[in-house]
A and B are shown apart, each in its own frame.
Chain A
Amino acid sequence: MIINHPLLGPRDASEFVYHGDAHLMQRPNPKSETADKDFHDYMYLRENIAGEMRELWFHEQGDRSWLVITRNTLTHDITKVELARNIKREQIKEAQQ
């Protein structure tokens, strides 16, 4: 698999470490009433989709950035690569508005 890094261009997937479903960026609120259950679900349960999925990859052998990659688990085709940093910034901005 070749991952088209937004800053570095096409890189071999073996430079990256796979972390899993991009929902792992959404840490639950520890102050919520349901925090116990929320953290269990966050930690242990996964969507595990057969088809298009958004996932977190870490460029360990490169610039050490976190990427959100949209990839089809049935074909391994990659259709979108974004910097996780940018996505998180957008989310924080939205939450503040």
Chain B
Amino acid sequence: MRYSALKIFKEALTGHKGWKPVWRKAEPQSHYDYIIIGGGGHGLATAHYLASKFKQKRIAVLEKGWIGGGNVGRNTTIIRSNYMLNGNEAFYEFSLKLWEGLEQDVNYNAMVSQRGVLNLYHSDPQRDAYVRRGNSMKLHGADAVLLDQSGVRKLYPFLNFDNARFPILGGLLQPRGGTVRHDAVAWGYAHAADKHGVDIIENCEVIGFDIQNGVCSGVETSRGYIGARKIGVAVAGNSSRLMSKANMRLPMESHVLQAFVSEGLKPVLDGVVTYGAGHFYVSQSDKGGLVFGGDIDGYNSYAQRGNLPVVEDVCEGGMSIMPRIGKARLLRMWGGIMDMSMDGSPIIDKTHIEGLYFNGGWCYGGFKATPASGYSFAHLMATDTHHETASAYRMDRFSRGFMIDEKGQGAQPNLH
């Protein structure tokens, strides 16, 4: 089934009886060329690019729950490529370019909206740091605009500019950044992968690996044994848990990150704004809810729910830069489990076990990476070489001393 304006028109005239499921419910076969574990954004994108760009066949995605139930359906939908370091910026810019053509590529409306991401600065040194970051972005072909206070006032006159402690002095704007409807990304990639013959198998949890003489040739699942030539793991917050079944310890901790949505309001905020002096960021969804969040809770957790001190901290941040948010009522809040790595950057690499590939360590920023992560993981699995923009995301970079630590925080995951 292809989605198009003509199809909508035809369906409207014929009582909407011709719509089909977005992907078919596949039954597991006994053997595949490729198994991708984890039906989140990254796993589905990997399967899509393996089939469509790298022309591989006999691919399955195994998902323990349902498509869209993980972080891909829990995040705050922000996309951007405003990183600074060499190992990162080219990768995230590649991702942003893929976002720009995503809907045509997967034939699905994911509501990619380049409404601009604005990082506020509150002091002269912070402005200097943003200048440096903006220059680095431009050197990598991304877009960045430094705004002074009057520039920010023009965009968002209602912000709290004259806060005595943290006045808003300006901001670094990435006009091509924005938001994407998160679960439509999962559905869109699932739809496109399915069209290329990928089996998407839900309610199928991987519980072990078949590893003999250093070679992985299959997985034990809740629906029986499935063999494969190559197996890729993309399970985000559950990375350490699953890789321990292959006797691997990862440079990672799992932490909970919370998100919040207010009641639906008339349009008040047309871009994404982040606070530079506290942990707070906000945008408005097309349904009208203010979508906002802040810091991770800061302790290991697999509970998918957080605690009240962070709720208070996030609300304080909101009141500090955007006092009018205090009038809005909170509608929903939830948590997701983040695979926080030791330097705040991800891993896309082969493991020391032949046939077993790993993708994870996305911290709280893996949604924006979804297209490039899927593309470069597919590149790695199909060709056994690293994609040029993802060649720094190696598993052994900690022992070699090649950390990619944007904030320079060191090996303490709750500080990234």
Residues of A that sit less than 8 Å from B by CB: 1, 12-14, 18-21, 37, 40-41, 43-50, 53, 55, 71, 73-76
Which residues 279-320 in B have Cβ within 8 Å of A in the complex? 298-303, 307, 309
Q: Which residues of A contact B299 (CB under 8 A)?
A: 13, 18, 55, 71
Measured in the bound complex, the distance between the Cα atoms of B324 and A33 in whole Å is: 61
Q: Which residues of B contact A74 (CB under 8 A)?
A: 302-303
In the complex, the answer to whether B249 meets A18 with C-beta atoms within 8 Å is no
- Chain B contributes a number of interface residues (CB within 8 A of A) equal to 24
Q: How far is the CB of A52 from chain B (nearest CB, A)?
A: 11
In the complex, the answer to whether B398 meets A40 with C-beta atoms within 8 Å is yes
Query: Of the candidates B241, B300, B398, which one forms a contact with A44 in the assembled complex, judged by CB atoms under 8 Å apart?
Result: B398
Per-residue contact bits, chain B 240-263, to A (CB 8 Å; 1 contact, 0 not): 110000000111111000000000
In the complex, the answer to whether A13 meets B300 with C-beta atoms within 8 Å is no
Q: Which residues of A contact B298 (CB under 8 A)?
A: 18
In the complex, the answer to whether A73 meets B411 with C-beta atoms within 8 Å is no
In the complex, the answer to whether B303 meets A76 with C-beta atoms within 8 Å is yes
In the complex, the answer to whether A48 meets B307 with C-beta atoms within 8 Å is no
Task: Report if B200 contacts A (CB, 8 A).
Answer: no
Cross-chain pairs A/B with CB under 8 angstroms, 17 sampled:
A1-B307, A12-B309, A13-B307, A14-B309, A18-B414, A20-B300, A20-B412, A21-B300, A44-B398, A44-B399, A45-B250, A46-B240, A46-B253, A47-B240, A48-B253, A73-B254, A73-B301
Query: Of the candidates A1, A41, A53, A75, which one forms a contact with B300 in the assembled complex, judged by CB atoms under 8 Å apart?
Result: A53
Q: Which residues of A contact B254 (CB under 8 A)?
A: 48, 50, 73
CB nearest neighbor in B for A42: B411
Q: Which residues of B contact A49 (CB under 8 A)?
A: 300
Task: Report if B342 contacts A (CB, 8 A).
Answer: yes
Given contacts A18-B414, A43-B411, A76-B307, contact A48 B398 (CB under 8 A): no
Q: How far is the CB of B355 from chain A (nearest CB, A)?
A: 22
Measured in the bound complex, the distance between the Cα atoms of B399 and A45 in whole Å is: 11
